[in-house]
Amino acid sequence: MYLINTHNGVKEKGIKRIHIEDYPAVKAHLDLYYPQLEKRADRGDTPYNLRNCAYIEDFSKQKIVYSDISERLNFQIIEKEMYFNNTIYFITSETENLDYLLRFLNSNLIDWYYKTLSVQLGEKAVRMFTIYVLNIPIPKNKDKENIYKSYQLTKEEIDFLLEGYLAGIIPDYQMSAFLMAVYFNNMTKEELTYFTLKMRNSGDIITFDNLDYYLVDKHSTGGVGDKVTVVLGPILAALGMATAKLSGKGLGHTGGTIDKFESIENFKFSLAKEELVEVAGKTGVGLMGYSDNIVPLDKKIYALRDVTATVDSIPLIASSIMSKKLAIQSDLIILDVKVGDGAFMKTIEDARELSRRMVEIGNSVGRKTIAVLTNMDEPLGYNIGNANEIIEGIEALKGHWSADLKEVVYEIVYIALKHKGEVETFEEASEKIDEVIKNGKALEILKDFIDLSGGDGQVVNNYKLLPEPKSIIEVYSTKDGFVEKIKAEEIGKAAMVIGAGRATKEDEIDHAVGILLKKKVGDLVKKGDLIAEIHYNDDKNIEQSRAMIIDAYVVGSKEQKGIKNILEIIE
């Protein structure tokens, strides 16, 4: 199909007219309706011509097009002329980078922003009126350094913004505009550091005047089967250091550190600084839940980020994490930044950038900060859940490690010992760790920590003290070959649907349920081999969970090596 615009041409723009005589078949057809053509209001200088469009040359340019009515903003670049049978609009420019503009317009943030100011059609669709599209704020695609030099926020401006927002003087819509600006334009080192300190100073700061330990605060960005804290704290304490940190409950795949330990009957985390100091002083392990008095600005801003599609802004993630890390005293912060399928950071590039910004913040304020990028392209260890992860952690302290968990824990302990000044090499650190595992010192510390936290420390020798599932279903391989990949996020979701995690903050966790993997990446499997067990209490979603596990196991003919778990160190 061809669409021929027989226009008059634009002499001053060098656009030649289209002559109807060059298209005799078209002219013959139009002549059948000549009387009607003569009466057309939109005729050009002959009845066959359309009157000229003021921007006729733009039809031949690269352009961004969008439809009149849309369920979700959907802008596309068109390189050539194209016919549309519905109303569409287009944007073109001689000076702007349309690829940059396209990425901006198709972002979740702009989808949210546009829907707040445009005309809604029913529950889902919106009208793409020009008056509203023109009101979308577009940041200039200039050299970022020049932007920062010209517009860097002063400390006084950050004070005004954050103090005003905490006090309720700055409204949500103004803070939303600021968060959107950060999302698209980033923050300088100076801005981000001061912004983070201001966040930290919005609430209580915990110090330990009478705690005579080298304090290590390890933070994980979260993954599937991440029970590192369960194992790490007792080992650090057995080596003469201490962990005194804030931990949270999980939202998503499986529980957080608090959820895992709350699998132990009557276990209670420290709720006040005094409790934390007492437990940490006696055992070297101190874990405290977050309270509303610690970095209250973060909680308020995060709620706004959640509804403005700015959750995945790297500087905002960095300030959220580091404001809480800096709110509690430590000598060393080690950031376990998970990368891959089961992590929030899916790519190594994003993980590097997040790590760099967090390390930059910590080191700028005199708090030694190191980031360890660890692989989350398969679950960590063999167990995914809560009580079952406590068991795997205890077994590790008895010397029965999964190779990947051991690799991550040993690397973090090595970094801590090295920066305390006790070792030079990884081999020296490994010997020290092996010793406190072999002599049972680390396990004894975990037992004491559980006792002092209200639980029964005998759980380290009697797993019957933990909640147990009513049923177990086995999952078998549907293929022959080697395990090439285990989709960690899919395994996490398979655990969540049976109750091991939370889909919403209101959901209750079932501490007894979870998944036990029987095969890892690189293992040989045959059709019908056992690859996993589902430990469950309610069979409502059991088939869904089983299907998800089968889908998560990618089996191929090529022999595979196990994955590398320590990817990079950034300090």
- What is the 3-state secondary structure of 241-262? EEEEEEECCCCECCCCHHHHHC
**Is residue 324 flagged as an active site residue?**
yes
Question: What is the spatial distance between Cα 151 and Cα 181, in angstroms, rounded to a whole number?
Answer: 12
Exposed e or buried b per residue across 123-148, where buried means at least 16 C-beta atoms within 10 angstroms of its C-beta? eeebebeeeebeeeeeeeeeeeeebb
Question: What is the spatial distance between Cα 514 and Cα 534, in angstroms, rounded to a whole number?
Answer: 6
Helix (H, G, I), strand (E, B) or coil at 77: strand
Cβ neighbours of residue 133 closer than 8 Å, sequence gap 6 or more: 66, 89, 114
Residue 45 contacts residue 8 (beta carbons within 8 Å):
yes
DSSP-based helix, strand, coil % in the chain, nearest 5? 45, 20, 40
**Is residue 219 flagged as an active site residue?**
yes
Amino acid of residue 551: D
Residue whose tokens read 């980033």: 186
Residue 132 contacts residue 332 (beta carbons within 8 Å):
no
Exposed e or buried b per residue across 103-122, where buried means at least 16 C-beta atoms within 10 angstroms of its C-beta? ebbbbebbbbbbeeebeeee
Q: Which of 217, 226, 259, 298 is catalytic?
A: 298
Amino acid of residue 469: P
In which element (H, E) is residue 407 found?
A: helix 403-420
Q: Which of 247, 320, 402, 453 is catalytic?
A: 320
Residue 322 contacts residue 362 (beta carbons within 8 Å):
yes
Q: Which of 213, 231, 229 is nearest to 221 (CA)?
A: 229
Q: Residue 229 class from Cβ within 10 Å (0-12 exposed, 13-18 middle, 19+ buried)?
A: buried
Q: Taking CA 32 as the corner, what is the angle to CA 31 and CA 33, rounded to the nearest 5 degrees?
A: 85
**Is residue 103 flagged as an active site residue?**
no
Question: Residue 528 gets which letter from DSSP?
Answer: T
| Cα of 552 vs its chain's centroid, Å | 20
Q: Which of 324, 338, 493, 519 is catalytic?
A: 324
**Is residue 305 flagged as an active site residue?**
yes
Q: Which of 63, 219, 432, 535 is catalytic?
A: 219
374 beta partners: 338, 566
Q: Taking CA 303 as the corner, what is the angle to CA 310 and CA 219, rounded to the nearest 5 degrees?
A: 80
Residue 184 contacts residue 100 (beta carbons within 8 Å):
no
Q: At what angle do helices 441-452 and 273-283 cross, to 10 degrees?
A: 150
Q: Which of 198, 218, 273, 305 is catalytic?
A: 305
Taking the CB of residue 19, how many other CB atoms lie within 10 A of it? 13
Question: What is the spatial distance between Cα 285 and Cα 452, in angstroms, rounded to a whole number?
Answer: 10
Torsion of CA 115, 118, 121, 122, to 10 degrees: 50
Length of the chain: 571
Active site amino acids? 219, 298, 305, 320, 324
